[in-house]
Amino acid sequence: MDQLKQTILITGANGFLGQKLIERLTDKPCYRIVATSKSENRNFIQKGYTYIPCNFTDDVSLQSLLDEVQPDYIIHTAAMSSVETCENDPLLCEKVNVKVVYKLGQYCAQHDKHLVHLSTDFVFDGKGGPYKETDQTNPCNAYGKSKSVSETKLLSTDCRAAILRTILVYGINGDTKRSNLVLWAKAQLENNNRINVVSDQWRMPTFVDDLAGACIAAMEKEAQGIYHISGDEMMSILDVVYQIADFWKLDKSLVNPIKAADIGQENNRPRKTGFILDKAKAELGYAPTPFVKSLTEIKQQFSFYNR
């Protein structure tokens, strides 16, 4: 082990953001990268880091991993993020989204290490967006509640931590099993499939490359407190899909606008979120990529990932 290099532990390394972080951080020779997820490594990039499988909900396994790795920084992306799964299994939701975060916070407080923790716009009820970091949280589903509690629990440890809330993350990586709004809509429309898209929910979608950059900036600056990270264009989900169709010259008549109530999302999803990004721009140097420009970058990345 190179004792001169600072060690970064990336949790949720098989996830969408986790894979992008590995891609970005393995280009930085000043760090020793350790990646972890519950299952075997699914990353497109296989070199330049150490991968250690770990079941984070098992306290002994988690402590053993931390003792072995001794990270200087932790970027915690692992989470149970499905609204329905969190509703159906509240005990597992609490374990994954709250208890693990608290234990990581305790570790970082005890050893004076820095933690970047990912949270969500779903900590808000969607009645007053766009939101600033100091606005009162009021989640309307179990997922949002678990993330709100995780923020409070983490801050109670007094560890040096940056909490990055984000919104509707999209982009591309090398994992063909990972999808998101952009890849889903593009694939469905290319296959001439009719799709139902909600017209009365508004978001500021976040390019995963921007989010990864913000995580790294928060880590390197050892930022502390809550930061809002997203795109800076407020759009309905329907508008997002129409822009995707326009960009790839696909048939917009295949898009069927529906209401959130039509699919049971009237009360368990925030209607309008969005973030005020002034703090992240000022303190982290955050500069979100315009949505259409991000689609151009995604188009170029298809060849990089052999997709």
What pLDDT does residue 1 have? 46
Convert the pLDDT of each residue in 189-236 to its tens digit: 999 999 999 999 999 999 999 999 999 999 999 999 999 999 999 999
What average pLDDT score do residues 7-33 get?
A: 96
Q: Using a pLDDT cut of 90, give the percent of the chain over it.
A: 97
Domain locations in the chain as residue ranges: 6-169+205-231+273-288
- For CA atoms 125, 127, 132, 138, the dihedral sign is negative
pLDDT band at 3 (very low <50, low <70, confident <90, very high): low
- Cis previous bond, 90, omega within 30: no
The pLDDT-based confidence of 42 (bands split at 50, 70, 90) is: very high
- CATH 3.40.50.720 is the classification of domain 6-169+205-231+273-288: yes
Task: Give the list of residues 6+ apart from residue 71 with CB closer than 8 angstroms, or none.
Answer: 7, 8, 9, 34, 113
End-to-end CA distance of the chain: 35
Q: What are phi and psi for residue 31, nearest 5 degrees?
A: -115, 150
* 171 vs 206: CA distance, rounded Å: 9
| Integer Cα distance of 182 and 170 in angstroms | 6
The mean per-residue pLDDT over the stretch 8-17 comes to 97
Query: Can you give the pLDDT at residue 39?
Result: 94
Q: Which of 22-26, 78-82, 303-307 has the lowest mean pLDDT?
A: 303-307
Query: C-alpha distances in angstroms, 83 versus 3, 13, 89, 146, 232?
Result: 41, 21, 10, 11, 24
| Average pLDDT of the chain, as a whole number | 96
